[in-house]
Structure 1
Amino acid sequence: MDTKQEFFDFINAGNTFKGDFITMGAAMLEGETITNAHVKVPLKTLNRHGLIAGATGTGKTKTLQVLAENLSDQGIPVLMMDMKGDLSGIAKASPGHPKIDERHEKIGIPFEAKDFPVEILTLSEQDGVRLRATVSEFGPVLFSRIIDATVAQAGIVSILFKYSDDNKLPLLDLKDFKKILQYATREGKKEIEESYGRISPASSGSILRKIVELEQQGADIFFGEKSFDTEDLTRITDDGRGIINIVRLTDIQDRPGLFSTFMLSLLAEIYGTFPEQGDSDRPELVIFLDEAHLIFKEASKALHNQIESIVKLIRSKGVGLYFVTQNPTDIPEGVLSQLGLKIQHALRAFTAKDRKAIKLTAENYPDSPYYDTKTVLTSLGIGEALVSALDEKGRPTPLAATMLRAPMSRMDILTQEELDSINTSSKLVKKYSETVDRDSAYELLNKKIEKANEEEVKAKAKEERAKASRSSSSSRRGSSRKPAQSATSKAIIKVLTSATVIRGVFGILGKMLK
């Protein structure tokens, strides 16, 4: 038996599953595609998370597109981050191309052009389903991160969240948080210091400036209600296809903190609201986090631990997380170790640091009798990748250099008219277009301050009346005593004067009589 036949049997034996699966492409040996040696990923293990990595221009976005399309066809909803604006074309069928036909002939899969059900979501003023979240939903840790708070400032943020919870003051938008921050350093300073500790005016002033800066970046339209319901990410069309939710982030690329913190908040919300799935045969939702390094950039150790915990726990909710980035070293080791599916596109060795990264990347993959992984990593072409998945029993499938299938949808952006058409027909756009501004911390604190001011005015008025009453009473008593005192004085003076005169007269008379 020749080497190609052995390799063919090796790949097919390791990619035979009982349940449903996605065919990624065909395995390659020594640069040649082995037709029908199909590389597959079982649906059962897609909630074990994954990684799509590779240098710029190697085809990561198209791989993401292929996965999303096949998941949708299997009735699994998808959430994708579109940082560059080139994922929206998934809503329209591919126009086809002779090179696509040639590729699929080598793979052994017929090419089918197809469009997919898409929902356009936005964090900003772009058209689409408006994603909002309340400040309370973010919590003190993530809110501190989004304003880039110091340790001392993060402590103050935690105090304000605690005070709001204890006093049933909803923190819905940024004006709510600004109001409670001002209250803590003015009218409520004594109250908060007695129960929660002292708040430094300098630190609170710095926090306020950071919130103002956040508002100038447009984050004020993100915080508020209606808060997005994560259940709307799991919708399926009438014909049984999962809806692909695309979050367009093209206009907030210079605000990675907002995007990454929103994603962490969303993951925490999903974990908190989705029911336990146990060992199910398919995921309920698959999330692709493009430019994943932004989530971990400059994150504290505590935040890293929080992310790692979410990654470990969220798969029990039937949710798969897929990190898309240039290099696996962008992902913390604690998270990387949790990723079952790894699709590694080519890496380029331009510097000593690049060569070191390639060596480390190669060590993340299982050994193969057919590949020198370090060599293959630098020789892969566009649309080719090393693929290692988990089988239905959780064991790694054979490592395969794979010629990946082409997307069935358009590999380009939608026109503005096409985007408008999607948004016009969207039920979610109508649902979340309304802005709700119910009574929250801002209004409730204003009422509290107003009531305190009224009580203070009443107390002062009462004190003034009491003072006036005491003064009036004192005046009445004074006026009734004064005439009597004056008359007595006059009588005494008169008596004394008379006595003096008498004594004088009697003195003279006495002298005269002598």
Structure 2
Amino acid sequence: MLPWSLGVIPRYPKQEVVKTREQTSRDCVVVGEVANSTPPTDACIPVDDLNKHTLVTGATGTGKTFTVATIVNRLTEGEYSVFFKPLILDWHGEYSSLLHDPEVKDPFHLPITLLSRDEEYYSVEFASQVLGLTPAQEYVLLKSLESLGGEENLNIADLVEILEGMADESAWFRESRLSLMRKLRRLTIGGYKELFSGGDLDLEVSSNKPLVIDLSKIGDLAIRRVYVAAFLKKIFDKALRGGFNSRRLLIVVEEARNLLGRDNYVEILVKMLDEIRKFGVGIVIVSQSPSALVEDVMANTSTKIVHSIKSAVDLEVLDKVVNMTSEIREILPYMDKGEAVLFSSFYKKPLLIRIV
């Protein structure tokens, strides 16, 4: 039985910092200090490792957002050997007050398209995953796309009109068509129509000034999820085509369970976790619970920053994927706000750190 299960709060251990390799200050982003270390030592993440994805997790109120903001601020204010453009998908509208001189955009001023004529089947597969379509609804959607003109980026409102006028091949076709219309029409009501009326993303990536997309402007959470998924797909597609001209992006995905949840993940986005790092895009995945995420997230994040976690299920998930000593496991439920355990290949063992 572990000490914390008996109500005994464990003492923080003295920590010896052993690195697996040497890094200069231009190669490492300082995120805080190693707690109880002799001599006092900064805790840092090699800037190259950001390209291999990062998980920031912990219970509500433990300091996850501040940790991510600290990484972004240090990254944009320092001079590093690798350039990253931070892009924050800000689910709750919190980052504009935490970042230093960010560019904040309203998603309604950054419209995208959910469906594209380019790689039509791939586009239908993506829409199916995001909207939860049945195979029959996928078939109807594909038929409706074939009826549209030559526009590369397809307007949802026009697609609904096409569906309204389509002849029904059978009873099941009619039922699927009407169900599909209901799902698509939700994306065209009121101002939401403008969210999905854009074309290619036009993002300024030549500077390292952080770009914040304030998703709190999208009141409907289901539509917010669709927008973020479509936005990420556009980013990934552009990166795969070399559209960022060798510039690296660091994308922060808050409330990641909405897209990468164990029970509701978007498969195409999960696959991208493994592929996109080769094209200069690193992702910071932020979530309250590691057990709520699809297993690929744990496998495909090189760096993990774990704030206080009390759930036995979450601790068990971490146990399976990281080198967590019994000492660290005992401490995790009792850490204060702003404290975390850093799991990184840069260090020989996990370190208890304070984000400063």
Specify if TM > 0.5: yes
1:347-426, aligned counterparts within 5 Å?
A: 347-348=309-310, 354-368=311-325, 372-391=327-346, 397-405=348-356
1:132 aligns to what? Answer: 111
Q: Check whether the contact 2:262–2:293 (CA below 8 A) recurs between aligned residues.
A: no
Give the share of equivalent positions with the same residue, in percent.
20
Q: Is residue 155 of structure 1 aligned with residue 139 of structure 2?
A: yes
Q: Which residue of 1 aligns with 2:162?
A: 180
Moved over 4 A (4+): 297-301
1:222 counterpart = 2:229? no
The offset of 1:15, in angstroms, is: 6.4
Change (3 A) 1:146 1:364: closer
Q: Is the 8 A contact 1:25 1:402 kept in 2?
A: yes
Q: For residues 181 and 68 of structure 1, do their structure 2 counterparts lie closer, same or farther at Cα, with a shift above 3 Å needed? A: same
- Assess if the C-alpha contact under 8 Å between 2:318 and 2:324 holds in 1: no
Q: Secondary structure at the match of 1:160?
A: helix
Matches within 5 A, 1:235-254: 235-236=206-207, 242-252=208-218, 254=220
Residue type at the aligned position of 2:154: L
Work out which of the two has the higher radius of gyration on C-alpha atoms and give 1 or 2: 1
The CA RMSD measured in Å over matched residues stands at 3.0
1:13 counterpart residue number: 19
| Change in CA separation of 1:147 and 1:217 when aligned onto 2, cut-off 3 Å | farther
Contact 2:137 2:176 survives alignment (8 Å): yes
Query: TM-score normalised to the size of structure 1?
Result: 0.58
In the TM superposition, residue 12 of structure 1 has moved relative to its aligned partner by: 4.7
Q: Which has the higher helix share?
A: 1
Measured after TM superposition, the shift of residue 131 of structure 1 is 1.5
Q: TM-score, normalised by structure 2?
A: 0.82
d(CA) in 1 for partners of 2:46 and 2:354? Answer: 18
Aligned partner of 1:201 among 174, 180, 190? 174
Task: Identify the residue that residue 205 of structure 2 maps to in structure 1.
Answer: 234
Give unpaired runs (5+ residues) of structure 1: 92-114, 125-129, 237-241, 349-353, 406-514
Task: Please give the secondary structure, in 2, of the residue aligned with 1:69.
Answer: helix
Aligned AA for 1:272? Answer: D
* Cα deviation digits, residues 230-273 of structure 1 (max 9, x gap): xx25230xxxxx11111112233542x33333333333323332
Alignment of 1:192-341 (within 5 A): 200-216=173-189, 218-225=191-198, 227-229=200-202, 232-236=203-207, 242-252=208-218, 254-255=220-221, 257-274=222-239, 284-297=248-261, 303-304=266-267, 306-341=268-303
Taking the aligned partners of 2:234 and 2:115, their CA distance within structure 1 comes to 12
Whole-angstrom distance in 2 between the partners of 1:5 and 1:336: 26
SS of residue matched to 1:13: coil
Distance change >3 Å, CA 376–CA 248, structure 1 → 2: same
Q: State the AA in 2 paired with 1:54.
A: G
Q: Give structure 2 stretches of 5+ with no counterpart.
A: 1-11, 117-121
Q: Deviations over 1:428-469 (max 9, x none)?
A: xxxxxxxxxxxxxxxxxxxxxxxxxxxxxxxxxxxxxxxxxx
1:59, 1:382 within 8 Å by CA — same for their partners in 2?
yes
